[in-house]
Structures are given as C-alpha cells and as structure tokens.
Amino acid sequence: MQELDLETIRKDIDRMDQQLAEVLENRLQLVMQVAAYKKAKGLPVKDKAREAKVIDKVAGFLENKDYSVAVKNIMRGIIDQACVLEETALAEGANNYEYQVGCFGPEGSFTHQALRDYFEGKKYHRHHYNTFEEVVASVTEGSMDYAVLPIENSSTGGITEVYDLLRQYDCSIVGEQCVKIEQNLLGCEGATLQTIKTVYSHPQGLKQCKEFLRDYPEIEQVPYFSTSKSAEEVAEKQDITLGAIAGRQAAELYKLKIIAPAINSNSNNYTRFVIIAKKPEISADANKITLLVAVKHETGSLYKMLASFYHMGLNMLNLESRPIVGKTWEYFFYIDVTGNLSDPLVADVMDEVREKSTYCKILGNYRAYERKD
C-alpha cells in the first residue's frame, strides 16, 4: 500500500478549493440575476420548496452516500449566504420605494411611535385605522405593504383580539418593536385632579393605571378605542371635567397639559408591537419564531409537544392560550421560541411539533427586538 503524503494531499485540496471558488463565484453571479428577477416581480427572497429540492438534488449526485448529511449542510450554508446577497440587493432597491404602512389608532399613539421607530430610515406613507381588524385586513387585501399592531404589554399581558386576528387572517409577522409606555393624565387648560370627573382611555391604558385610579373612585372611567384618540376628544371639547390617559406625544400633539405624569402602576412598562405583511419574510438574521398550535385534549399532549423545544435546545419565550370556538376547554396556543427556520435543527423541531399537534401554523420568523439601554 502506497504511503500517504500529507503535502501532496494538501496540494490536491488547494487545487480543488480553487476550482470550488470559481464555481461558487459563477453560482453567486447567477444568484444576483435571480435577485434582479425577484426585485422586478416583487417576489420574496426565500423559497423553501425550491431550496429543499436543490439540496436533495445535489446530495443525489454523490457516489458516496456517506457524505450526504455533510453535503446537505454545506448546501444549506451556501443557500443562506446567497439569500443574504439577494436581501442586500433587494434592500438597496427598496431604499427608493415608498412603503404603504397601516397603523392602529391616530397620530400620536404608541403604535404610531412604534411604527416610526421601526421604519426609521425608510420611505413610507402612513395610514391610520380605528380597529385592529381594519389594520390586519388592509394587509391581507393588499392595500398596505406592512402594518403595525400592539400584541403584548409587560403589565397587562397579551392583547387577545390581535392574537385571534392573526389566526383568522392570512398574514405573517415579519418584525417586532418595543416601546416604553408612560401613561399620563391629560387635561385642557384649567383642568386639575379636582375638576376631572370623567377620564377616557383605551382599556389597556385604564388597566395599566388601575392603582392610580383606585385612589380617585369618583372619576368615571370610559373605555375608548385609542389613547391618542382619547386625548383628541378632550382637546376638542375643552371641558375641565374631562381627562385622558395617554402618552406625552399625544399631549404635545393635541396641546393638552399633563396633570399627573407617569401614572402607570408598573414603571418598567413596555408594549411589544408586531409588524405584519401578506407574505413571510425570513432574513438570515431572523432569530425568533411565532407559531400557533393545537394539541389533542388528553393528558400530557401539551407537555410532549413543548418538550420538543427543550430537547432541541430552543428557548421558549412566550406562551398564550386562546379558546377554540365550539370546543369546550380546548385551546389554541401561541408560542414564541428562538430559532431560524433555515437551520436544519430548527426545521427538524418544527417537523416534530407538527407531528405532535392537531393544528400547526407558523405565523412568522423574524429578528427579535433588541432593547437599547
């Protein structure tokens, strides 16, 4: 048997690497042509079905099938990097595109602030809607490219209506934004805590300030469909007996004075907003998955499904339940977990979750908000 020579082997590998570099360069040039086509047609970067076919086809070319797993993982890496290049090319063109973005509530609301923060540096035209359903419908019907909705507050929990709408309508979560919420008691000139008899706010705003309001039982609490709209109502009526619970931005916009600042019970009060689109958008840096599942109504079924995340090392970030209409004591579960769907390990977990569920829908895979302190 001929003795192996390490230097000779390494020279052969170097020659192969040179050939591989040439092939990869040619492949990426073709990828950029694909990016130009997708840009012209308005198509998404990710095409999971096409990617799976490519990976399986390449592995099928192998004579030594022992290398199949390794080659599949290499191809996934190549495709991921190709997607990054496509996204960059599409983003460069998107800088000149003016997005149509739907916003729950009027100008000056916390949702407006979240929209402004998330789309900073991008061109967009803002459209305001009075109800959560109108916002979601604007995306699914195609009149809006994106829309922004509140989904969870750190003090009062999930906003159930929004969760239900995400299930009912065909849309995807493509991003999220968090806003620190500071609620204030606002009034017109001349109003004081002693003159105010009625206060308007969104139900979430009233809940977040329940401890403050408990000290003033004589003040009537009137739920309104938006904190900002509450402020607008008080500004229009110019009645010293009326107050609104809203943010500082609304006070400035409607020229109201802050009678009592920062009245929310929890000083560390944040609301998480989701950005939705008609179709999924999975970027290479996506690290959070939101999915909706239902399981059999039997002992241990939910535990067995959730155990899939634990055994595969995925961190579960949130779990919300909503009743299934027509099925007593049965629930849909909204789950946030870490991960990127292009990761083979994560894809395997999702397959396992589907097998253990009676219903499974991935609502989005996106980049989690990173708080800047």
Active site residues: 271, 273
Nearest to 147 by CA among 156, 136, 157, 155: 136
What's the CA gap between 185 and 192, in Å, rounded?
10
Distant-in-sequence, close-in-space partners of 131: CB < 8 Å, separation ≥ 6: 104, 225
What's the CA gap between 203 and 185, in Å, rounded?
14
Number of Cβ atoms within 10 Å of the Cβ of 326: 6
What's the CA gap between 121 and 88, in Å, rounded?
15
Distant-in-sequence, close-in-space partners of 355: CB < 8 Å, separation ≥ 6: none
C-alpha 208 chain-centroid distance = 23
What's the CA gap between 220 and 241, in Å, rounded?
11
In terms of C-beta distances under 8 Å and separation of at least 24 residues, what long-range contacts does 80-84 make, across chains too? 80/284, 80/342, 81/284, 82/27, 82/28, 82/31, 83/45, 83/46, 83/283, 83/284, 83/342, 84/284
What's the CA gap between 117 and 272, in Å, rounded?
12
